[in-house]
């Protein structure tokens, strides 16, 4: 009968096994923690890229300058039409009435469409900032014949994404 008494675990062996298991589990959690916190990054990057592209497309669809005729082949500064405007920014109009590229200069907002409606899939923790500047000399043109549009998207994970394009006076 003595053989049956020696076949169990002692209290000390159980405590040691629990401590070893806890240490091993802690090492595993620490090793895998960075990968679990980064799993949402690709989704946030894709949404930021989509948002930046949407703003660039909206802006590039507008006429180059306030002094360019709508649907006209006459462009500002060509000697026939008035000179291009020298002030970048909206001409005291609300966003839904922006009609030229430089109206977006200085715009900072939570993601909305051109009518001011909150964009779906974008929480208020996203933000968009836009800067428009004359940049003709960067393209080998006279300075007022091109504008650079810079869109900055701030994602919920505090990552910042930059998007830029040029709009020329053609």
| Range from 27-31, 59-63, 162-166 carrying the lowest mean pLDDT | 27-31
Q: Do 113 and 70 sit in the same domain of this protein? A: yes
pLDDT digits 0-9 by tens, 41-50: 788 888 899 9
- Write down the pLDDT at residue 39: 59
In this structure, the answer to whether residues 121 and 135 fall within a common structural domain is yes
The mean per-residue pLDDT over the stretch 48-73 comes to: 86
Residues 135 and 163 in one domain: yes
Do 18 and 68 belong to one domain?
A: no
Instruction: Name the residue with higher pLDDT: 36 or 116.
Output: 116
Residues 68, 119, single domain; the answer is yes
Same domain assignment for residues 75 and 58:
yes
Range of the domain at 102: 41-168
Q: Are residues 114 and 143 in the same domain?
A: yes
Tens-place pLDDT, residues 68-85:
877 667 777 777 767 888
The answer on 112 and 32 residing in a single domain is no
Q: What are the pLDDT digits (tens) for 77-131?
A: 777 767 888 888 888 788 888 888 989 999 998 888 888 888 877 877 899 999 9
**Same domain, yes or no: 50 and 95:** yes
Same domain, 76 and 96: yes
Nearest in space to 64 (alpha carbons), one of 49, 50, 78, 79: 78
Shared domain for 48 and 129, answered yes or no, is yes
User: How high is the pLDDT of residue 5?
Assistant: 56
**Chain-wide mean pLDDT for the chain?**
84
Residues 65 and 28 in one domain: no
- Cα separation of 119 and 122, whole Å? 6
User: Does the pLDDT at position 36 exceed 60?
Assistant: no
pTM of the model: 0.72
Number of domains in the chain: 2
Helix/strand/coil (H, E, C) string of 42-91?
A: HHHHHHHHHHHHHHHHHHHCCECCCCCCCCCCCCCCCCCCCCCCCCCCCC
């Amino acid at each position: 009968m003595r053989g049956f008494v020696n076949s169990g675990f002692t209290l000390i062996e159980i405590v040691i096994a629990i401590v070893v298991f806890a240490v091993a589990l802690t090492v595993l959690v620490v090793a895998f923690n960075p990968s679990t916190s980064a799993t949402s990054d690709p989704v946030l990057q894709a949404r930021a890229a989509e948002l930046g592209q949407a703003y660039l497309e909206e802006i590039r669809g507008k006429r180059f300058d306030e002094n360019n005729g709508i649907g006209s082949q006459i462009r500002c500064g060509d000697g026939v039409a008035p000179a291009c405007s020298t002030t970048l920014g909206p001409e005291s109009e609300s966003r839904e009435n922006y009609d030229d590229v430089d109206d977006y200069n200085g715009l900072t907002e939570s993601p909305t469409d051109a009518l001011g409606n909150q964009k779906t899939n974008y929480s208020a923790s996203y933000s968009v900032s836009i800067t428009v500047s004359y940049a003709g000399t960067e393209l080998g043109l006279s300075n007022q014949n091109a504008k650079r549009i810079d869109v900055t998207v701030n994602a919920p994970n505090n990552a910042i994404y930059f998007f830029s394009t040029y709009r020329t006076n053609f």
